[in-house]
Amino acid sequence: MQELERKNNDMIEIEKTNKDKIERLEKKFFEEKVRLQNETNKKLAELASKAHEDKNKKGKTGKGKKEQKPDLKAEVERMRNPAMEKLYENASRENEQYKVRIENLIKTIDNLQETCRIQDHDADY
């Protein structure tokens, strides 16, 4: 019975640790997301300013604006995707590992409880 209690306490401690790790990962994820958004906004402003200056210098009409738009989208996607994708993949991978560990601990506890029940039942007879 003490072993069951110890396993239960271990599981609670692991859950708490996993929750803390997940919270830290989420915090890092959102900090990185904000940083990337700020960087993207800054880069967009720079590109828009450059496009506006180029248009004024060259005296282009709406045609120049249409040519610049795909470049802006491509630049934003190029900046945003790799870092965010890697961060998300790492967080997802760690989260899955924690889930597997918790499931294994739950199975162990269930097995211990069943063993205790069997032993208690055998002791009664």
- The residue that leads in pLDDT, 124 or 13, is 13
Model pLDDT, residue 66: 52
- pLDDT grade for 116, boundaries at 50, 70 and 90: confident
Q: Look at the pTM and tell me if it is higher than 0.85.
A: no
- Per domain, the residue ranges of the chain are 2-124
The token pair at 18 is 């996993």
Give per-residue pLDDT as tens, 36-81.
Answer: 888 888 888 888 788 878 787 876 455 545 555 666 777 666 666 6
Return the C-alpha torsion angle 61, 67, 68, 71, nearest 10: 180
Distance from C-alpha of 27 to C-alpha of 22, rounded to nearest angstrom? 8
